[in-house]
Structure 1
């Protein structure tokens, strides 16, 4: 079949359509932020009032699931549906296909929250459908663009999709799905290491060039490849045997390697611009996350605290950093952070650190504070960036995603 006769996905920016459906980052960043706030409110209300949230899944599993397989995939989808067209030189998926994809994600959120009414089998089927469909769409776009080198990014998406399917299978068989939750978290962390190693040196180099400063960040090389591979092995060991003390040395080495990798990108040189500095600070949670894994393996903190350093610290802070930068860049705004944006970053950093500190210091009130800070961070994002995502069209900037 010739290229001209292939069925094509409708795409591109349409002047007569709703701005929300013109680019993947718009509905998914906004939907992900709204869901981040709602899930935390529902979780706190469930703890306080005993709401039957999640039905037979149980409220704790629902909470864990919706952070890892509800909020995070939305932001990931928004990023990749925006980044892949930049990588391949194609136009973005938009219009009806984008609406259907967002609707599939939203159906999963409703089904999981109302599992007491729909039942676990229906909720599982609706929820588990999104990630494989999204993965197939990304794979198609990369193949059509001939960018085979970018397929490695989808390995993390595959791990997350596998984690989602494994979660539902474990629940259906009466088992415990924690290993699948950890597997998905590991997939996100690997994505942060891969994509972070791509965008942080690039964006930092561009900023330093514009401001006539040097030396430049070290470009991606074999050291980066080695760090990612060793870190992935350490994460695999943590997924399989999180409580084994033998994991601690591996995790500590991974922490040191990632700290050295981060230092090579010269984040301190861009401290004048928070929109760029935040990417470096978010990546700093990768070595902190491995340190938390080591502490948990030694019994110094709870396993759930180590998990929160990875989910809130590594995943959510990097996602918020990317959401703010990509939104500003792709709506033609200056690539500089406002005071409210900086406050949202600080709230999320504090939320990430509060949970393990609650264990180390014995202050349980920090757990409640962590939830409140999380909600405030994403509420600030919605308040400042919601209008940009919904209705404002400007020419995108090149250095944005």
Structure 2
């Protein structure tokens, strides 16, 4: 389990994603089932997934900076300490209080993760990576805000912005790599800025109409940036690994548009409630994107390609189906157990894939296919 940071952290993310929503079916488990499950899907599920991804990407950043002395990132003991901190945070999150000891317990993992990233990044003077190294702090801020205020829309928009910034880099990068383009991908900074303005407008208590129109503009911008992606070339041959990333990304403009319309003209979407729009971002975008990225670590390797297994495809399809069912059944609270169980089943299937990968060789690179002729795995560090 300790041969690579993503092995324990991706497994924890999958298991927690499968278990946390069950509080809806067994509300006696928490004094505030809705608040606890939203908080844990951000700090617990997304936190572990973010840790696995960023610690996996860190050695690549350092290699690009030609700082080979620090190019391996944190070692086994640091990862073990992060796992213990993550577990401690889940225990602290069970407490209904917001005193200093509870908040400290919840904060240890994201702050420790950010420290593990910042030290080598600052040492290598990788200034462009500083915002990403600080992403765990942003995640912590969203989770604590949600815990103290119950404002699910702010947390969802903050997560959407995080996915837009990070996912908006990796999805076109993977597409361009598959299409054989050497140039770096085009960023969507304007679209991300509009989304940040929408989040700020909501936080400042501006009228719903202002936030709504900004979200509609952000949705248009996030959709338009895809026009500059090599979709036709990157998706040629129907590669499931890239199709999953693109399908998850589509929930970003869709979710922002849904929430924007619900704020500007709720009568247009009769039967849908604001929580339904929020779930388009949390379930479809966040859940789908996280699973699509994590799945790449355990896919079979071919020359220059990743081959998604049946377990990966089934798990992802269940997450997408759960999101659609959550939207379709939003007017029927008594039926919401259906999308909940569908989501949990999808993550249980994915957890099985993550467990199986514990005994497989660690691929190199972890999240992308090796170039034809390159070694696809490296010996485990002892």
Return the TM-score normalized by structure 2. Answer: 0.84
What's the offset of the Cα at 1:329? 7.5
**Contact 2:23/2:29, CA 8 A, preserved across alignment:** no
Correspondence 1:127 to 2:95: no
Q: Which residue of 1 aligns with 2:141?
A: 162
Q: Which residue of 1 aligns with 2:291?
A: 320
**Contact 1:262/1:283, CA 8 A, preserved across alignment:** no
Whole-Å separation in 2 of the counterparts to 1:146 and 1:63: 38
Q: Which residue of 1 aligns with 2:257?
A: 291
Aligned length: 354
2:242 to 251, 273, 276: 276
State the secondary structure of the residue aligned to 1:335.
strand
Whole-Å separation in 2 of the counterparts to 1:224 and 1:333: 27
1:376 to 345, 352, 360: 345
What's the offset of the Cα at 1:138? 1.7
Whole-Å separation in 2 of the counterparts to 1:199 and 1:141: 21
2:130 to 126, 151, 157: 151
Structure 2 matches for 1:2-17, cutoff 5 A? none
**Contact 1:296/1:303, CA 8 A, preserved across alignment:** yes
Deviations 1:147-170 (A, max 9, x none): 1111122454332222334445x3
Deviations 1:110-166 (A, max 9, x none): 2323x27xx653443311322222222222231123211111224543322223344
Taking structure 1 as reference, are residues 194 and 235 closer, same or farther at Cα in structure 2, changes over 3 Å only?
A: same
1:178 to 145, 150, 156: 150
Taking structure 1 as reference, are residues 240 and 336 closer, same or farther at Cα in structure 2, changes over 3 Å only?
A: farther
Q: Which residue of 1 aligns with 2:73?
A: 92
**Contact 2:300/2:307, CA 8 A, preserved across alignment:** no
Correspondence 1:67 to 2:41: yes
**Contact 2:74/2:116, CA 8 A, preserved across alignment:** no
State the secondary structure of the residue aligned to 2:329.
helix
Q: Which residue of 2 aligns with 1:139?
A: 118
Whole-Å separation in 2 of the counterparts to 1:80 and 1:68: 16
1:80 to 54, 58, 67: 54
Structure 1: state its 5+ residue gaps. Answer: 1-19, 171-176, 210-215
Taking structure 1 as reference, are residues 182 and 249 closer, same or farther at Cα in structure 2, changes over 3 Å only?
A: closer
Structure 2 matches for 1:309-388, cutoff 5 A? 309-328=280-299, 335-359=306-330, 362-364=331-333, 366-388=335-357
What's the offset of the Cα at 1:217? 10
Return the TM-score normalized by structure 1. Answer: 0.80
1:261 to 225, 239, 256: 225
Deviations 1:65-90 (A, max 9, x none): 11112111110111001112211121
Q: Which residue of 1 aligns with 2:17?
A: 36
Q: Which residue of 2 aligns with 1:192?
A: 163
Taking structure 1 as reference, are residues 294 and 312 closer, same or farther at Cα in structure 2, changes over 3 Å only?
A: same
CA RMSD of aligned residues (A): 2.8
**Contact 2:13/2:45, CA 8 A, preserved across alignment:** yes
State the secondary structure of the residue aligned to 1:203.
helix
**Contact 1:282/1:314, CA 8 A, preserved across alignment:** yes
Runs ≥4 in structure 1, deviation > 4 angstroms? 216-219, 239-243, 329-334
**Contact 2:296/2:367, CA 8 A, preserved across alignment:** no
